[in-house]
């Protein structure tokens, strides 16, 4: 079974050891997957898909499209719900608290604060 695991790993400038550690597998297992002498199980395919932000079909060379629409929508819905919750919290703050929150977030990113 041909996969794109090595290609995706190299795009991120990761060693086999670093990717294997992130995925919770050993480097030898990853090496076998990249050489196509072993087949990834479903759970590992899902973890790879999430890590590289591509579809399982793309990893398995079943599609040239990195993301399918369903994956893209599901991923965005997850973040949309998180952002809606953060906005609701922000809206409950008074003007000073909102300013302090904004300044704090800017300082975390070493960005200039717009006044």
Instruction: Look at residue 12 and tell me if it is in a domain.
Output: yes
Compare 72 and 50 and report the one with higher pLDDT.
50
Residues 54 and 86 in one domain: no
Q: What pLDDT, in 10s, does the model give residues 12-29?
A: 999 999 999 999 999 999
Residues 54 and 73 in one domain: no
Instruction: Look at residue 115 and tell me if it is in a domain.
Output: no
Count other Cβ atoms within 10 Å, centred on residue 48. Answer: 24
pTM for the structure as a whole: 0.58
Instruction: Look at residue 113 and tell me if it is in a domain.
Output: no
Domain containing 19: what range? 5-59
Tell me how many domains the chain contains.
Answer: 2
Q: What pLDDT, in 10s, does the model give residues 70-106?
A: 666 676 777 788 889 999 999 999 999 999 999 998 9
Read off the pLDDT band of 65 (50, 70, 90): confident
Instruction: Look at residue 114 and tell me if it is in a domain.
Output: no
Q: Which distant-in-sequence residues (6+ apart) come within 8 Å of 32 by Cβ?
A: 38
Residues 78 and 50 in one domain: no
Residues 48 and 92 in one domain: no
Quick one: pLDDT at residue 88? 93
């Amino acid at each position: 079974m041909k996969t794109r695991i090595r290609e995706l790993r190299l795009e991120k400038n990761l060693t086999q050891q670093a990717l294997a550690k992130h995925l919770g597998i050993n480097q030898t297992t990853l090496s076998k997957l990249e050489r196509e002498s072993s087949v990834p199980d479903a759970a590992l395919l899902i973890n790879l898909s999430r890590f590289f932000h591509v579809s399982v079909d793309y990893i398995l060379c079943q599609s040239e499209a990195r993301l399918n629409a369903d994956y893209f929508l599901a991923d965005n819905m997850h973040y949309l719900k998180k952002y809606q919750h953060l906005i609701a919290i922000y809206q409950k703050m008074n003007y000073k608290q909102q300013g302090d929150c904004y300044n704090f977030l800017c300082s975390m990113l070493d960005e200039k604060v717009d006044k």
